[in-house]
Structure 1
């Protein structure tokens, strides 16, 4: 029950995604092939809430567990992914930025066609777990404390009000977090949260507020996908991503320190 678990991170599922989302998108055909492989290999899907409950209570995980997650709230999750999930009987978790969804709370700035609230409700009714992903999808670790709290709390309150159930899981926009961001997410009432990390989720080595996921992108072929779900060659596949992430972390910390110093001088 303590074995690491692959948590797959998808974004747009689309034939012709916008340029801004292309690299992190997956075609509907590739998505169906990937889920077909999961089914053929006997994987059992869990939502993030189910995984948290089993880890918390010491319950046994199913044989070959896998989590299927989507970030942002692209319309293709409803149009293309939902029928494939239903075909194979797989559950999934969708992390949405509430200010990017089409409807009364739309703040603009979404990079592609997003879900509307009726589609989100249909996904929830179909068994897809809905999680939080902030309100306007900012880089949370660069925000002041009041703005950070608003982004996290407002997202959770809107989802609770529109869906009748408060989300228990959160995913960090861009995968970025810090101790301050993780504390804000915990204080807002979320039970666990997800970064990127590009590693298997491991309760023995990772905080429940910094669980790792595996990026599935346009360039992910079936051989590489098989390695991801088996936990093989993960470090090699994402070696470049990890090097870039370390560099970004230093740069982001410097930017925040400079902004803080500027505010103090003013």
Structure 2
């Protein structure tokens, strides 16, 4: 057994009869311990693609950022059973950042969390959408996931069709109410290395293409209203131009969002998730970013 597989299969626990990966469950449990609408933190998990760990050869030959489909299903099952609130980017913006809307009564005692996937890998659609449909049928609860998409890499006939999802697949997930489709730049370029003209092209064309793909399903134009920086990199110029076209900007910096302290909506932190991190590392990361002591966690 390889080191990666040892980490993936190591240390499981049971909660309400569901087998769970200690690493991911612990990072969530610690990050939102006793969390309700008055608490200041919201963990935002950042995934990429998915891999079927039953196919050992495939699993061993895929990038470590491709997460186990089986482990993800266990995690989502646990979160649904334990009454988590799966936030969209607009939910986070309206209810926790700007507080422009009052949290609905049905969500006030739920524990907020955001599940995001970057880059628009086809495996997210082929492996994730069936899981979301299965859990909705099982519990009569819908899980919302955020897809940060590079529309310049969307699959078209003969191009990227085996690796990336296409417009029709985005539309399917959006129409079923599972996908929150947001921008990740046009072609996943490091925006900090681009000229102003190139930067604007990455930002504006990404938004335009995504909205054209979904316009009849998105009358309020919530699609491509929020942005995740490719590679998690940004600077003053990038943030300035992102702020002209998007409501928020998401990093990839292994931190938990403290929404009572954040004063820059273009520096929203996310936790990186991959197969290589051991459960112990994920637990330590959560404890460091979210002190268990409530008095400490309330301080900025």
| TM score, norm. by length of structure 2 | 0.69
1:70 to 108, 117, 138: 117
**Alignment length, in residue pairs?**
229
Gaps of 5+ in 1: 236-266
Shift of 1:4: 1.2
Q: Are the counterparts in 1 of residues 42 and 259 from structure 2 also a CA contact under 8 Å?
A: no
1:59 equivalent in structure 2: 102
Describe the shift of the 1:114–1:44 C-alpha distance in structure 2 as closer, same or farther (beyond 3 A). Answer: same
What secondary structure, in the 3-state scheme, does the structure 1 residue paired with 2:51 have?
coil
Gaps of 5+ in 2: 1-37, 53-57, 137-141, 216-220, 291-300
1:185 equivalent in structure 2: 242
Shift of 1:45: 0.8
- Runs of 4+ aligned residues of structure 1 deviating over 4 Å after TM superposition are 220-228
What secondary structure, in the 3-state scheme, does the structure 2 residue paired with 1:134 have?
coil
Alignment of 1:205 onto 2:294: no
RMSD in angstroms over aligned alpha carbons? 2.7
Alignment of 1:173 onto 2:230: yes
Distance in 2 between residues matched to 1:148 and 1:187, nearest whole Å: 12
Alignment of 1:1-266 (within 5 A): 1=38, 3-15=40-52, 16=58, 22-55=63-96, 56=98, 57=100, 59-60=102-103, 62=108, 63-86=110-133, 87-88=135-136, 89-103=142-156, 113-127=163-177, 128-164=179-215, 165=221, 166-188=223-245, 190-206=246-262, 207-220=264-277, 231-234=286-289
Distance in 2 between residues matched to 1:154 and 1:178, nearest whole Å: 20
Distance in 2 between residues matched to 1:123 and 1:191, nearest whole Å: 23
Distance in 1 between residues matched to 2:73 and 2:276, nearest whole Å: 15
Distance in 2 between residues matched to 1:66 and 1:197, nearest whole Å: 17
Distance in 1 between residues matched to 2:163 and 2:71, nearest whole Å: 20
What secondary structure, in the 3-state scheme, does the structure 2 residue paired with 1:211 have?
coil
Shift of 1:39: 2.3
| TM score, norm. by length of structure 1 | 0.77
Describe the shift of the 1:18–1:53 C-alpha distance in structure 2 as closer, same or farther (beyond 3 A). Answer: farther
